[in-house]
Amino acid sequence: MTKQVRQLDRVVIRFAGDSGDGMQLTGDRFTSETAQLGNDISTLPNFPAEIRAPAGTLPGVSSFQVHFADFDILTPGDAPHVLVAMNPAALKANLGDLPRGATIILNTDEFTNRNLAKVGYAANPLDDGSLDGYAVHPVALTSMTVKALDGQAISKKDAERAKNMFALGLLSWLYSRPHESTLAFLERKFAARPELVTANVTAFKAGWAFGETTEGFAVRYEVKPARQQPGNYRNITGNTALALGLVAAGVRSGLPVFLGAYPITPASDILHELSKHKKFGVTTMQAEDEIAAVGATLGASYGGALGVTSTSGPGVALKGETISLAVALELPLIVVDVQRAGPSTGMPTKTEQADLQMALFGRHGEAPVAVVAPRSPADCFDAAIEAARIALTYRTPVLLLSDGYLANGSEPWLLPDVTGLPDLRVEFASEPNSPDGFMPYLRDPATLARPWAIPGTPGLEHRIGGLEKADITGDISYDPTNHDFMVRTRAARIEAIQVPDLEVEDPDQTARVLVLGWGSTYGPIGAACRALRQRGLPIAQAHLRHLAPMPRNVDDVLRRYDRVVIPEMNLGQLAQVIRARYLVDAIAYNQVRGLPFTASELEFMLEELVKNA
Amino acid sequence: MPDAKNVERAVTTAPIALKLTAKDFKSDQEVRWCPGCGDYAILAAVQAFMPELGIPRERIVFVSGIGCSSRFPYYMDTYGMHSIHGRAPAIATGLSTTRPDLSVWVVTGDGDALSIGGNHLIHALRRNVNLKILLFNNRIYGLTKGQYSPTSELGKVTKSTPAGSADSPFNPISLALGAEATFVARTIDSDRKHLQSVLRAAAGHRGSAFVEIYQNCNIFNDGAFDALKEPATRDDFTIRLEHGNPITFGRNAEWCVIHPPGGFGLEVRRTAEVEPHEIVTHDRTVAEPAYAFALSRLPGEDLRHSPIGVFRAVDRPSYDDLVRGQVAAARARLTGSPEEELTKLLNSGDTWTIM
């Protein structure tokens, strides 16, 4: 039958199911198909820390949200237009996020009395009228998949597991997605088990065919490609982009990259990704603990490598003493903190921005470091290169503050021209720098960096350490004046780092309210500001990539506006720094729910401020 | 222009004709241990031994943690890092892994290596990283002025344990063997010749070489090893391990070590009371660490029957060699320039083009 095709400008779909239902994979594949089509996309995976929570329970629900549009978008979307719920738990856990009128596609096979009871449904929501406000499509996903695979040489369990591909086939049909890449993907994924290739491909095609033939779906949708800058694109998560940025920094500096890491959510994928790229001279070491990871990294830096350690907040806490040593040694070191909800173990798979002050101040003694934060998944690539630039040029530890939302979220990435990336080549010391011999703490007057004299260089044998050093000679010194001078010099070193000015987006030039952000809040803040401007309400947005040192024009920018508001996924850490440093009465707007801000809640909050400014 | 190549120089293990002397290894820093400290003797022995390595000074690195012994790098005119408490093995692992051209030495103490840094020590030994680890064991915390250490005897009365310590000590040799260290030895600060013979064996070992050096702290634990040093007791208390020789000791070899039938370990007997074939012949190459472990269990609380020398020296691939092998094998597959390969990498996976 011929179906009506309706054009949409944007759609938000959330795939939700049990941890074992393959929802992350399904979401990934849908995203990839969508990217191929040329829509702009933004994704938000959301999964429990448990590998397999008890089946069918609320804690076991895993979801993947994808927002795609024919225009440029900034967030994974506030509320889904479509929910695919593979079981009652997935429905119950996600229904609250759905606006009335949203589409719900349910796997009816899982709506058994037992499964309903497991999540506290007294009555079946399919029958009790509680879903009346939604466009509900009950589909027997499991049994139709099993039926489609009838006669294939696979177990019943494997047949049932293919139901996510049936669902993907159905959604791919519904939104007119190209499916060639998914079929090729299945060939690759199950190459070792051809029977599973056949089963999953069959399930996908059965889902597609079901959409075409069933009367349950009368309308099919299209979302046209977005107008994007010409070039080659790929879809990328923050962790992958960050890892590739480090590989690129190795290539552009000509230095071997050394990554020391201990497994930790949500940072482990950086270790996984970098371990694949040995041919670029990347060495990865899974250390015995977080402290060893940063220690080995610092040892590699001392030897002339680009040393990187990747972790999350609990790991940064453990690494603090070694980072402080790196401050004293004045060696390059990149510490990646993929922030997660704390304190303590907190919520490992959920996002937060509450490590900012730890990054800035969380060490013993006056131990200043540079702090850089990416703003979007693809931006993690550039931020990693920027962290390397600062570390190598200024011989300092750099804290690179990503977060769980950036790490696992994805967006299209306009692939850069490699030869246009920053030149990061460094010069090791090769000869004595004074008539009296080699002076390890004699600084470059422009950068205040000391020479990087790596072991193996004849004539420059010297000793460094954590004890306070005399200026210039680096000898141990307990002299009060020298200590005061060295503490101030280490602070001045960070302040001397050249960083670009803070850019302000204020298209109307009439705004009286400035929203200042940092890190992953860029998307929702930007989307909220756009929405306000479209409604004729002027607002300015500025986003800090450099938290230490801050750009030199921050003071000027802040003073240009009547009100400054700082939304953060913490209890006001940047706001406190801004207030203290610039004596500006900044308003802190805070949420720590383990989830990114929605654009609409920011829009609502900002609207009040703009109207009352 | 410095590039990756200058940190990938080939390892040169063959001695180079260098005219270095002990003096060349003395830095210009004033040595500041307490007068009479055992560390002076170790420093002098190491400085005198270094020329034997045949390695130019710039390719030798001493990395230490925190404690009296960890001041050691300041006094060596090589490259050196005085790092933080317990972490020297971790730092040295990163250095050794990325720089095969260097000879990397770790200097540590009983508190540094076995208490705060215990984890890094056992993992460095497990990985068999190319490091020479010198553990100065004085059975006390010296730099913090006299608290008991993880090698202090049970019941030790110190400032922090006025009623006697309640924790049993580590036996560093047993611990290293438990971590399956490939080279394990013990020596004594005051026996320069023996100390240097052990350093020589350690330097020649590929992988982690663990050397425990009994070191006297004359301020806070004076005389801790006197039983092994005093003429009256030393011969009966010290077992000098020599590869390939039957294990006998005492002024007239009146003591020996046997493996009693049915037992798990080794025991000391009067030589006259056993058949010569019953005496254990020392073999440091025994693959199973149980033999060396049994040797490490011989001493009593009074240090009677303390073996010194090389307990174990076996071959096992070292972590850093394996890791560099993987990187080198991957690099050999590079077909284009790094920039070309990077372009390929960035453009891999599902990509699309917007015209």
Tell me which residue in B91, B327, B329 faces A281 most closely, judged by beta carbons.
B327
Q: Is residue A276 part of a domain?
A: yes
The residue of chain B nearest to residue A283, with distances taken between CA atoms, is B327
- Minimum CA–CA partner of A321 in chain B: B84
Q: Which residues of A touch B79 (CB under 8 A)?
A: 455-456, 461-463
Using CB atoms, pick whichever of A280, A304, A456 lies closest to residue B338: A280
Asked whether residue A577 is domain-assigned, the answer is: yes
Nearest C-alpha neighbor of B213 from the set B26, B68, B28: B68
Whether residues A492 and A594 fall in one domain? no
What pairing do the DSSP bridges indicate for beta strands A82-85 and A10-18?
parallel
Contacts of A231 in chain B (CB under 8 A): 353-354
Same domain, A329 and A285: yes
Please judge whether B97 and A181 are an interchain contact, meaning their C-beta atoms are less than 8 angstroms apart.
Answer: no
**Are A464 and A521 within one domain?**
no
**What pLDDT tens digit does each residue of chain B (355 aa) get?**
334 444 444 334 444 567 899 999 999 999 999 999 999 999 999 999 999 999 999 999 999 999 999 999 999 999 999 999 999 999 999 999 999 999 999 999 999 999 999 999 999 999 999 999 999 999 999 999 999 999 999 999 999 999 999 999 999 999 999 999 999 999 999 999 999 999 999 999 999 999 999 999 999 999 999 999 999 999 999 999 999 999 999 999 999 999 999 888 999 999 999 999 999 999 999 999 999 999 999 999 999 999 999 999 999 999 999 999 999 999 999 999 999 999 999 999 888 888 7
> Is position A198 within any domain?
yes
B93 neighbourhood in chain A, CB within 8 Å: 285, 292, 295-296, 299
- pLDDT on residue B16: 54
Kindly report the number of other CB atoms within 10 A of residue A97's CB atom.
Answer: 17
Picking from B1, B350, B355, the nearest residue to A32 by CB comes out as B350
Beta bridge partners of B79: B61
The CATH number that applies at residue A196 is 3.40.920.10
Q: Of A223, A246, A280, which residue constitutes the final position of a domain?
A: A223
Q: Which two tokens stand for residue B308?
A: 């010194």
Residue A243: domain span: 234-420
Residue A229 lies in a domain: no
Which segments of B99-216 does DSSP mark as H helices, in order?
110-111, 118-127, 172-178, 192-203
For residues A186 and A140, the answer to whether their CB atoms sit within 8 Å is: no
Nearest to A290 by CA among A317, A270, A327, A329: A317
Q: How far is CA A359 from the centre of its chain?
A: 17
Question: Measured between alpha carbons, how far is residue A296 from residues A259, A387, A604, B54, B275 in Å?
Answer: 9, 19, 48, 27, 52
Strands A257-261 and A306-311: parallel
Nearest CA in chain A to B352: A233
Nearest-Cα distance to chain B for A463, in Å, is: 5
Is there a single domain that holds both residue A208 and residue A134? yes
Instruction: Say if residue A150 is in the same domain as residue A58.
Output: yes
Mutate to test the interface with A, among B5, B11, B55, B354 (most CBs of A within 10 A): B354
Mutate which: B83, B129, B337, vs A, most A CBs within 10 A? B83
The DSSP output letter for A472 is B
Q: Are residues A330 and A347 in the same domain?
A: yes
Give the pLDDT confidence score for residue B354 in this predicted structure: 83
Q: Are the beta carbons of A229 and B57 separated by less than 8 Å?
A: no
CB nearest to A279's CB, from B123, B324, B331: B331
Does the N-terminal peptide bond of residue A432 adopt cis geometry, omega within 30 degrees of 0?
no
Residue from A274, A279, A423 to probe the interface with B (highest B Cβ count within 10 Å)? A279
**Number of domains within chain A:** 4
Q: What is the CATH number of the domain that holds A380?
A: 3.40.50.970
CA B355 – CA B346 distance, rounded (Å)? 19
Q: B222: alpha, beta or left, given left = phi > 0 and alpha = psi -120 to 50?
A: beta
A370-372/A546-548 β-pairing: antiparallel
Contact between B210 and B183 under an 8 Å Cβ cutoff? The reply is: yes
Using DSSP, how many helices (H) and how many strands (E) does chain A show? 20, 23
User: How confident is the model at residue B355, as a pLDDT?
Assistant: 79
Report the C-alpha gap between A349 and A342 in whole angstroms.
11
The pLDDT, as a whole number, for residue A1 is: 54
ipTM confidence score: 0.95
Beta strand B131-137 pairing with A370-372:
unpaired
User: Do A475 and A393 share a structural domain?
Assistant: no
Q: Which of B80, B98, B339 sits opposite A283 (nearest CB)?
A: B98
Buried b / exposed e over A495-529, threshold 16 CB at 10 Å, is ebbebeebebbbeeeebebbbbbbbbbbbbbbbbb
Which chain A positions have a beta carbon within 8 Å of B334's beta carbon?
279
Same domain, A32 and A155: yes
In a domain, A373, yes or no: yes
* Nearest residue on chain B to A28, alpha-carbon basis: B350
The span from the CA of A542 to the CA of A553, in Å, is 12
Q: In chain A, which residues have their Cβ closer than 8 Å to the Cβ of B56?
A: 458
Q: In chain B, which residues have their Cβ closer than 8 Å to the Cβ of A465?
A: 73-74, 80-83
Give the number of C-alpha atoms closer than 13 A to the C-alpha of residue A266, restricted to the C-beta side.
Answer: 32
Chain B hits for A363, CB-CB cut-off 8 Å, are: none
Domain stop point among A448, A473, A498: A498
Shortest distance between the Cα of A271 and any Cα of chain B, in A, equals 15
Rounded CA gap, A265 and A598, in Å?
23
Closest-CA distance of chain A to residue B277, Å: 45
> What is the rounded distance in angstroms from the CA atom of residue A417 to the CA atom of residue A137?
46
Number of alpha helices (DSSP H) and beta strands (DSSP E) in chain B: 10, 12
Q: How far lies A507's CA from each of A47, A510, A518, in Å? A: 38, 8, 20
- Which residue in chain A has the smallest CA separation from B117? A292
Instruction: Say how many C-beta atoms besides its own lie within 10 A of residue A561's C-beta.
Output: 21
Question: Considering the domain boundaries, does residue A356 fall inside one?
Answer: yes
Task: Kindly calculate the radius of gyration of chain B based on its CA atoms and give it in whole angstroms.
Answer: 23
Of A297, A303, A428, the CB nearest to B2: A428
Task: Decide: A38 and A225 in contact? Cβ < 8 Å.
Answer: yes
Task: Determine how β-strand A10-18 pairs with β-strand A231-237.
Answer: unpaired
A87/A202 same-domain check: yes
Q: Residues A410, A436: one domain?
A: no
Query: Are the C-beta atoms of B90 and A473 separated by less than 8 Å?
Result: no
User: Cα separation of A116 and A113, whole Å?
Assistant: 5
How does DSSP assign B228-256, residue by residue? GTSTTTHHHHEEE--TTSB-EESTTS-EE
Q: Are A404 and A266 in contact (CB under 8 A)?
A: yes
What's the CA gap between A315 and A348, in Å, rounded?
12
Q: Which are the contacts of B64, defined by CB distance < 8 A and separation ≥ 6? A: B70, B71, B72, B73, B80, B81, B82, B83, B88, B106, B107, B108, B112
Tell me how close the Cα of A208 comes to any Cα of chain B, in angstroms: 22
pLDDT at B13: 43
Asked whether residue A36 is domain-assigned, the answer is yes
**Do residues A133 and A207 both lie within one domain?**
yes
Q: Which secondary structure element, helix H or strand E, spans residue A10, and what is its range?
A: strand A10-18
- Of B79, B338, B352, nearest to A233 by CB-CB distance is B352
Q: Which residue of chain A comes nearest to B66, CA vs CA?
A: A466
Cross-chain residue pair B120–A38, CB shorter than 8 Å: no
Q: Which of A497, A536, A498, A538 shows the shortest CA–CA distance to A515?
A: A538
Res B5: pLDDT: 43
Query: pTM of the predicted model, to two decimals?
Result: 0.94
**Interchain CB distance below 8 Å, B342 and A247:** yes
**pLDDT value, residue B17:** 60
Q: Could you identify the residue written with the tokens 């302000």? A: A504
Find where tokens 């849908």 sit: A30
Of A261, A267, A264, A265, nearest in space to A283 by CA: A261
A69: left (phi over 0), alpha (psi -120 to 50) or beta: beta
Adjacency order of strands within the sheet including B248-249: B248-249, B255-258, B267-270
Round to the nearest angstrom and report the end-to-end CA distance of chain A. 57
Given a cut of 50, the residues of chain A with pLDDT beneath it are none
Chain A hits for B347, CB-CB cut-off 8 Å, are 232, 234, 415
Per-residue pLDDT at A50: 78
> Looking at beta carbons, which residues of chain A come within 8 Å of B143?
none
- What element of type H or E holds A391? helix A379-394
Domain boundary among A470, A498, A526: A498
Using an 8 Å CB-CB cutoff, list chain A residues near B57.
461
- In sequence order, which ranges of A82-219 are alpha helices (DSSP H)? 88-94, 113-118, 141-148, 156-161, 163-174, 180-189, 194-213
| Nearest chain B alpha carbon to A281 | B327
A contacts of B326 (beta carbons < 8 Å): 278
Chain center to CA of A538: 29
Q: In chain A, what residues touch B78 (CB-CB under 8 Å)? A: 461
- Is the Cβ pair B98, A258 closer than 8 Å? yes
DSSP for residue A38: T
For β-strands A370-372 and A333-339, DSSP reports them as: unpaired
Q: Is residue A413 part of a domain?
A: yes
Residues A62 and A172 in one domain: yes
Chain B residues in contact with A289 (beta carbon < 8 A): 119
| Residue in A28, A39, A274, A302 to test binding to B, most B beta-carbons within 10 Å | A302
